[in-house]
Copies of this chain bind each other. A is one copy, B any other.
Amino acid sequence: MTEVETMSKAEWQVMRIIWTLGEATSKQVIDILVKKTDWKAATIKTLIIRLQKKHFLKADEATRPYIYQPLIAEDQAIHQSVNNLFDDLCCMKKGQAINDLIENSEISQSDISQMIATLTKKQLTAPEMVDCNCLEADLK
């Protein structure tokens, strides 16, 4: 049962293009993705249609090559995806997972400063240990 509509990996690639361009025609999306992947134009069209059905994208049908616009902000979509994944992890492992991510990602100076600030603040109230709840029934 799909409580909340989710974006598949392939659909995500389409959204990235449109988020970055702000809005786009199918031709723009297709041109870029045909270079970037092995997909055929028809595949990309299918993805665009599915994204509309899922309400992640809408077509401005005023003019003829439709102009597709995102119905969800990139930041929000990222937040949802990342949270969706982290919700599955053992609480105890999240810190290590994030550290791993920091090590393996290219991050700008300003984002690093931001993170250090966030962490420094968090340090004031952080628990000595976080314990594993993998065997417990979900509260709530």
Instruction: Please report A residues at the B interface, Cβ cutoff 8 Å.
Output: 9, 12-13, 16-17, 19-21, 32, 35-37, 74-75, 78-79, 81-83, 85-86, 88-91, 93-116, 118-120, 122-123, 126-130, 132, 134-138
Contacts and interface: CB of A to CB of B under 8 A. Distances in A.
B112 A115 contact: no
B93 A132 contact: no
A90 to B, nearest CB: 6
A130 B107 CA distance: 7
A107 B134 contact: no
A125 B136 CA distance: 42
B126 A109 contact: yes
A115 B137 contact: no
